[in-house]
Amino acid sequence: MEQRIIDSIEKIVGKDGYSTKPADLYTYGFDASIFHKTPEIVIQPRSTEEVSEIMKIANREKIPVVARGAGTGLCGSAVPIKGGIVMAMQRMNKVKKVSVADLWVDIEPGINYNDLNEVLAKYGFFFPPAPGSAEACHIGGMVALNASGMKAVKYGATRDYVLGLTFVKADGEIVRAGTRTVKDASGYQLARLMCGSEGTLGIITEITLKLTTKPKKSAYCLCAFNNIHDAGSCIAALIAKPMIPASCEMMDSISIKAVNKARGNPLPACEALCIFEADGETDEVVSRDLKIIEEIAKSTGAISVTPSYDQKQIDAWTDARKSILAALSALMPGYTSVSLADDMGVPISKVPAAVKAFQDIAAKYDVTIATYGHAGDGNLHTKMLVQPSNADMWERGVKATDEIFDVCIDLGGTVTGEHGVGIAKAPKYMRERASELSSIIAIKKAMDPNNILNPGKLEQWEGSILANLRYPCKEYM
């Protein structure tokens, strides 16, 4: 980057507000995906105004800008594949105001999920989506991906809580979108358009979230099965009852083995399991719902059903579930767990068919695929175990991924339930959204005519998704 541009940036954010040190640039070229690309500068703004001034420079000089939260995204959404600026939002991490009477909270985007919930808990509220990355991810990243998680089956995704937000457009204009009212029927919902836009339409600098009360009681039930098909059938039967659990996680035998090996057997050794949560205002409501879960699990083939009201036991199960991604990397020496086909969504009744198809595809391409996820809302995660320098294995992995995505689209689903499109899903996202594509392209052109905001992703992706691989595989370097 030219020194005169760096000098103008320094005038806006100060000497400690940016870095061009090689180690920093290298570090900010990653997120939690399989991709990497080094940017030219990392900027850490402190205010909407600073973001606006930087965007004016970037737009004038046609420099790519990629916003970054905590970098925990799994699809490469925050990887700066065209170089340029990484706008790292971690200094903008304040809770600005909690309005209990009006049911909203105003926050900056760099606040962490758990930190926000700690503040809201003091008022009896919570922000429910509960991603597996809750300890690390930022709300700005969650909004930009429309992230969700374990409790989405009952409480919905991030978008369902965004009343309004402030964002900075590509040309530096500051826009306040949406409202601070619980209801809003006023025309186009720009704030909602920003949810899931993955930093391609603007940089979000303030968010107004709707508050919702935290249930006073909850309990869990772990159900073990002889096969993953029965586990899927149990979930579909429960929802159809109808009974909406507060959370509903499914794990296959590979995920269970990996967690038990890495963490000293916190789970029963079985072929598949579901961990259900029931919540409510009273113990009676919770125990009534837990009984329904137990009955349905038994009637759909559960080999053991273990309810628990004990927080220690519940924490052990939920920690086990959250550790799958890391545990899988320790399962087979020389193999690492990667996000290729990552978080598909299918209609809930199609979960058993989808899981069976994933197993058939893994066998066809001779790859190891673990399946788990927030299956209560049809959101299935798969992780593939690959030898990082084995090009043939990557190629087979990509072919398997393509087929998994096709199966999910054909079942009436989506290539991404919560992790976003980024790079990993881009080719199949274009297939899935074919009929919306010309509108999507028109919106992007209208809001970012110089194409500087997170360019080259989503509908702009071209070529093989292995092009920006972070691993030392010489065929892709």
Ligand X SMILES: Cc1cc2nc3c(=O)[nH]c(=O)nc-3n(C[C@H](O)[C@H](O)[C@H](O)COP(=O)(O)OP(=O)(O)OC[C@H]3O[C@@H](n4cnc5c(N)ncnc54)[C@H](O)[C@@H]3O)c2cc1C
Q: Which of 204, 273, 357, 362 binds ligand X (CB under 6 A)?
A: 204
How far apart (Å, rounded) are the C-alpha atoms in residues 202 and 194? 8
What are the DSSP calls for 385-421, one per residue? EE-TT-HHHHHHHHHHHHHHHHHHHHTT-BSBSSS--
Task: Work out the angle between the directed axes of helices 351-364 and 391-410 (0-180°, nearest 10).
Answer: 150
Stretch binding ligand X (CB under 6 A), from 42-50, 64-72, 181-189, 310-318: 64-72
Stretch binding ligand X (CB under 6 A), from 66-74, 250-258, 311-319, 443-451: 66-74
Choice between 321 and 350, CB closer to ligand X: 321
- The three-state secondary structure class of 254 is helix
For residue 416, state whether it binds ligand X (rule: CB under 6 A): no
Choice between 229 and 470, CB closer to ligand X: 470
Peptide bond before residue 242 is cis, with ω within 30 degrees of 0: yes
Distance of closest approach, residue 366 Cβ to ligand X, in angstroms: 26
CB 85 within 8 Å of CB 43: yes
Instruction: Compose the 231-270 pattern: x for residues touching ligand X by CB under 6 A, - for all others.
Output: ----------------------------------------
How far apart (Å, rounded) are the C-alpha atoms in residues 358 and 308? 31
Choice between 102 and 160, CB closer to ligand X: 160
For residue 78, state whether it binds ligand X (rule: CB under 6 A): yes
Structure tokens at 202: 């603007």
For residue 151, state whether it binds ligand X (rule: CB under 6 A): no
How far apart (Å, rounded) are the C-alpha atoms in residues 236 and 231? 9
Task: Count CB-CB contacts under 10 A for residue 313.
Answer: 15
For residue 67, state whether it binds ligand X (rule: CB under 6 A): yes
Q: Which of 42, 74, 170, 357 binds ligand X (CB under 6 A)?
A: 74
Interface positions, 323-382, toward ligand X (CB under 6 A) = 325
Choice between 109 and 164, CB closer to ligand X: 109
Choice between 39 and 149, CB closer to ligand X: 149
Interface positions, 10-49, toward ligand X (CB under 6 A) = 31-32
Task: Count CB-CB contacts under 10 A for residue 380.
Answer: 28
CB 188 within 8 Å of CB 177: no
Interface positions, 382-411, toward ligand X (CB under 6 A) = none
Burial of 206 (0-12, 13-18, 19+ CB in 10 A): buried
Distance of closest approach, residue 209 Cβ to ligand X, in angstroms: 14
Which residues of the shown chain bind ligand X in the complex (CB under 6 A)? 31-32, 66-74, 77-78, 89, 109, 131-133, 137-138, 140-142, 144-145, 147-149, 198-199, 203-204, 325, 418-419, 454
